[in-house]
Amino acid sequence: MVVALVVACGSKKQDKPAGEKPVETPVTCPAGQVADGSKCVVVVTPEKVAAVAQQQSRIDEVAKLLDQADTLAAPIDVLKGLRDVDAWKVLVKTNDKAKLADDVAAQLDNAVKTMRTFKASLGEVQTRVGNLKGELDKLMTQTGAAQKLADVQAQISSEVKATVEPFAAQVTDTIQNAIVPLSAKLDEVGAIVDIACGTVKLKGGDQAKALCKDAKDAFGKATTFITDFKDRPAKLYDELSSTLVTQLDQLIDTQTKAALAIAQTKVNEALKLPPAGSAAPAGSAAPAAKP
């Protein structure tokens, strides 16, 4: 009787609770693949990683070009110096064009500062793209029990959004507050200063002569720089955004793709809003890939 009870108790301990689900066997996938249910799907390839890495080089190219941004500061310094010359102050009171140059001096100065801020922001964007590449590198080396597609998608989508959305805002700000005013006013103000210097040099003494000596050259170089550079920020954003959406299509969720499309629209709208008196927009960019 005792033996029978012991056997019966032991049998009850081994019984599985009613409704208990069987333990799922983890899906094992090769490197570059993740688990989508019970199957493996390819989400990263060496070519995709290389395409993302190339964007770091593109960002670096624009950053190096902005090393020449001090070219923009030279004519602004000339204009600020002239505003302290008594002969210029007298001219402004009687000459509408000289007054125009005087009035936009602060706007142009702010534009140069905005351009410097944009250069600094490129370092942060480059770092974020590098971090994203690092996550892709991990996916290319991981084997064994695969990560779930939904989990990886959430992580990569978050990183892509954190990289691209702020960059879109920085590009938009640079277009509106630096490229557009510099493109529209720099050449015009340079011509005004060149003509005004003919009068100011005669009455302004050595200070005016020193400022006017290199004014034409300074404005000319700055105008050439902004003409060559004006399309770069928008094109850089467009290439970065479209590359990430295209190469990481399966790893970016629908909400993030929609957010990037909205950001692209804002950049494009900034390109179409030249100030009064400007005949053409700063440039144009192709729309981002559709989600």
| Portion of the chain with pLDDT greater than 90, in percent | 49
Task: Please write the tens of the pLDDT for every residue from 216-235.
Answer: 899 999 999 999 999 999 99
Q: Which of 33-37, 108-112, 173-177 has the lowest mean pLDDT?
A: 108-112
- pLDDT(73) > 80: yes
Q: Domain locations in the chain?
A: 40-271
User: Please, which contacts does 220-223 make with residues 24 or more away whose CB atoms are closer than 8 Å?
Assistant: 220/190, 221/71, 221/74, 222/71, 222/72, 222/74, 222/75, 222/182, 222/186, 222/190, 223/186, 223/187, 223/190
- pLDDT(213) > 70: yes
Which band of pLDDT confidence, cut at 50, 70 and 90, is reported for residue 18? low
Which band of pLDDT confidence, cut at 50, 70 and 90, is reported for residue 20? low
pTM of the model: 0.79
- pLDDT(287) > 50: no
- The amino acid present at 17, given as its one-letter code, is P
Average pLDDT of every residue of the chain: 84
Distance CA 121, CA 29 (A): 38
User: Hunting for tokens 């981002």 — which residue is that?
Assistant: 288
Which band of pLDDT confidence, cut at 50, 70 and 90, is reported for residue 247? very high
3 state DSSP class of 252? coil
* pLDDT number for residue 258: 93
